[in-house]
Every structure is written in structure tokens, then in C-alpha cells.
Amino acid sequence: MQDVKATVRRFLLDTVVMAGDVEIGDETSFMEAHILDSTGFAELIAFIEEEFGLDVGDEEMLPQNFDSLAGIERYVARKRAAAAA
């Protein structure tokens, strides 16, 4: 099983902050830590859709789903479970 948090962390470090020495904890708020702004979230959501093969609905674009690595992991797990059901 693909490690969702590690994949997204790598995306953020390589593409967004472009530095390996930034600490992004599992519960770090991307907004509060100034890692992502609205365009950054749009990029992140596009990455998640492509990388994990899922469609993010307009109503799902919530901070609790995408503002932290842990939130993203829970969201992806829910989407996969719903798709498998």
C-alpha cells in the first residue's frame, strides 16, 4: 500500500517549498505554517487526484481533508473505502 503521507510530504518538499530541511509534521497545518496559499491548495488537490486516481468534489475541498498530511491520509482512505464498497 502506497504511503500517502510520505508521497504528499515528498510533493510538498520537492515542488512547493523546494527545500529538504523544512519540517512538515503529520498534523502541521499547511495554512498556518504558510506552506500553501489558495493556488498551492489547488496544486495539491490536482496532485492528489492524479497521484491517487480519485476525483475531489467541490464540497470536499475542506481544510479538514487537505490542510495536513494526517487529514489527507484519512481522506484518501475514506475515498478508497467508498470506491471499494
Partner 1 sequence: MAHDVVTGAATRRLDADVLAIDAAQETARIAANMVRIVGRELRRRGVVVAISGGVDSAVCAALAVRAFGPARVFGLMLPEHESSPHSLSRARLVASQLGIAHAVEDLGPALEALGCYRRRDEAIRGVFPDYGPDWKCKIAIAGGRDGTFNYFKLVVQSPAGATREARMPVREYLQVVAATNFKQRMRKMVEYYHADRLHYAVVGTPNRLEYDQGFFVKNGDGSADLKPIAHLYKTQVYALARHLDIPEEIRGAAPSTDTYSLPQGQDEFYFALPWHQMDIALWALDHGVDAEELAARLEIPAKHASAIYADIAAKRSAARYLHSPPLLVESAPEART
Neighbours of 14 (CB within 10 A): 11
In degrees, rounded to 5, the angle at the alpha carbon of residue 51 between the alpha carbons of residues 41 and 47 is 20
Interface positions, 9-28, toward partner 1 (CB under 8 A): none
Toward partner 1, which CB reaches closer, 53 or 63? 63
Considering only 26, 27, 62, 83, the residue that binds partner 1 (CB under 8 A) is 62
CA nearest to 73, candidates 27, 35, 32: 27
Considering only 18, 20, 21, 58, the residue that binds partner 1 (CB under 8 A) is 58
Structural contact between residues 2 and 39, judged by C-beta atoms closer than 8 angstroms: no
66 binds partner 1 (CB under 8 A): yes
Give the range of 1-9, 11-19, 53-61, 75-83 binding partner 1 by CB under 8 A.
Answer: 53-61
Neighbours of 18 (CB within 10 A): 9
Interface size with partner 1, residues (CB under 8 A): 16
